[in-house]
Amino acid sequence: MTFEEYMRVANYLSAAQIFLQDNFLLEQDLTFDDIKPRLLGHWGSDPGVNFAYAHLSKLAKKFGQEMMFVLGPGHAFPALQANLFLEGTLGKFYPEATHTYEGISYICRNFSWPYGFPSHSNPGTPGVILEGGELGYSLATSYGAALDNRNLIVACLVGDGEAETGPAATAWHLNKLVNPKTNGTVLPILHLNGYKISAPTIFGRMSDDELGSLFKGYGYEPQIVSGDNLHEQMEETLDWAHQLIWDIKEAPETRVSPRLPMIVMRTLKGWTGIKELNGDKIEGNCLSHQVVLTEAKTDPEQLKMLNDWLRSYRFNELFSRDNGFGDFLNDIFPEPASRLGMTPHARGGDPV
């Protein structure tokens, strides 16, 4: 399975959780009965989360790297849930979340539903040590998790809206307090999609030169992933970051506050989703932040737009009732015990 195919699957499942209560394989065109009576959830950050999760998983597989994933914008929970479902971790703790049609039905019907799964990251989510209801604490939490775990890389996805909060703005300086030779390493990834819930972000209005200068000033070695060939760029950048981290760890001399890597990851908000609605730009705009087709349950035009959007992922080419996903997901994920959601560091060090 290529990164592009994985993104199609993960983006489809992220959107399906928000909208669908039936007809999960789009075996017929959507009807109003297929749409949830109350639409809740956040779409805009989901594609970027799926992008990062896939590449971090492949990095862990390639190098046998012990990794933890901390999701700063925890409201992007449909994406995190989709990835945990795909890697099989969710099914370890919620046995009904199988790679079957019934398993897809289970995660979609129970997303943001009473006695089901909340709409934000939560303590019941495998691999999670940070709740998603309040922004700003992802970096501080990540640096705490790295202490006394020398072989661990904590990949921390920081939303650019979240990065404007006081706690996040201050926590960039924690790199000066952690010794990478005796502790683990935090790999910050600034998810720069340019917009928060109702306006552009400060970081979204900065040039690449300004961003590079800022994070160099914070003591990091920044790389920017942006523009064309994003998958190729991200894979190469993560390989570079991994090499730099271990070069610093294994260097014979001890440097004070070594310049460790961080990544600025530019993707469109609402990437691959609805482009325009009622004359307003949706993809690449703050209007994709939450539910983008709020009247899909009652408006025929919005229902058709949703139908066309979900069909654009061609999910049925990568999943079938008879074979599920096949073996393709193993091209992305490491062995089950090493997958991001299975990290024992999220369970107090207890293995499953």
Mean pLDDT of all residues in 194-200: 93
- Among 342, 348, 349, smallest CA distance to 68 is for 342
Query: Does the structure show a pLDDT above 90 at 171?
Result: yes
DSSP classification of residue 176: G
What proportion of the chain, given as a percentage, has pLDDT over 90? 91
The rounded distance, in Å, linking the Cα atoms of 106 and 98 is 9
Phi–psi pair at 315, nearest 5 degrees:
-60, -35
Q: Quick check: helix, strand or coil at residue 183?
A: coil
The pLDDT assigned to 134 comes to 79
The rounded distance, in Å, linking the Cα atoms of 210 and 202 is 11
Length of the chain: 352
Provide the H-helix boundaries in the chain: 3-19, 46-63, 77-87, 89-93, 101-110, 138-146, 166-171, 208-217, 230-250, 300-311
The rounded distance, in Å, linking the Cα atoms of 192 and 220 is 17
CB 73 within 8 A of CB 159: yes
Mean pLDDT of all residues in 45-72: 97
Q: Tokens in use for 250?
A: 């294994």
* pTM tops 0.85, yes or no: yes
The rounded distance, in Å, linking the Cα atoms of 73 and 175 is 21
CB 81 within 8 A of CB 17: yes
Confidence band (pLDDT; 50, 70, 90) for 350?
low
Per-residue pLDDT tens digits for 212-255: 999 999 999 999 999 999 999 999 999 999 999 999 999 987 66
The pLDDT assigned to 327 comes to 86
- Among 22, 21, 20, 75, smallest CA distance to 46 is for 75
Query: Does the structure show a pLDDT above 80 at 351?
Result: no
The pLDDT assigned to 74 comes to 86
- Among 224, 156, 223, smallest CA distance to 189 is for 156
Per-residue pLDDT tens digits for 87-143: 999 999 999 999 999 999 999 999 999 899 999 999 999 999 998 777 899 999 999
Burial of residue 155 (number of CB atoms within 10 Å: 0-12, 13-18, 19+): buried
Angle subtended at Cα 282 by Cα 162 and Cα 262, rounded to the nearest 5 degrees: 35
Q: What is the dihedral of CA 297, 302, 308, 309, to 10 degrees?
A: -90
Q: Cβ–Cβ contacts within 10 Å for residue 313, how many?
A: 22
Q: Tokens in use for 225?
A: 């992933």
Mean pLDDT for the chain overall: 95
What proportion of the chain, given as a percentage, has pLDDT over 70? 98
Q: Quick check: helix, strand or coil at residue 296?
A: coil
Confidence band (pLDDT; 50, 70, 90) for 58?
very high
The pLDDT assigned to 303 comes to 98
Question: Which residue has 């998958």 as its token pair?
Answer: 231
Mean pLDDT of all residues in 322-344: 93
The rounded distance, in Å, linking the Cα atoms of 261 and 245 is 7
